Amino acid sequence: MVSLGRLAAAVGGVAVALSAATGIASADPIVDTTCNYGQVIAALNATNPAMAAQFNESPAAQSYLRQFLASPPSQRAQIAARIRSMPQAAQYLNTVEQVASVCHSY
């Protein structure tokens, strides 16, 4: 099992930046999110406390998430595409999509 920190470090991006779709859709909620770091973390804590606890123990994953959210959509799309191509990322896809779809509510 790949830890969130190792996953984030492996792609040079963020642990919380992928979706199950192949390719980058023009309306990708992860790439196009307007949520800030606090909203994403609140949504992660609410939707998957176990993954949130793991994420909260990884300064590297936290740093990558901050960098991802501060990046423009074009750069986010590149990061997401790299992560989507990683088989070890599959275990995180559903949670990340759920967080992206609800983070604006936090």
Q: How far is CA 27 from CA 3, 40, 61, in A?
A: 28, 18, 25
Query: Tokens 């896809």 map to which residue?
Result: 93
104 in Cβ contact with 39 (< 8 Å): yes
Q: What is the pLDDT of residues 47-96, one digit of tens each?
A: 999 999 999 999 988 988 899 899 999 999 988 888 878 888 877 877 88
Q: Six-digit token pair at 70? A: 């501060």
pTM of full prediction above 0.75: no
pLDDT-derived band at 4 (thresholds 50, 70, 90) equals low
What per-residue confidence (pLDDT) applies to 85?
Answer: 84
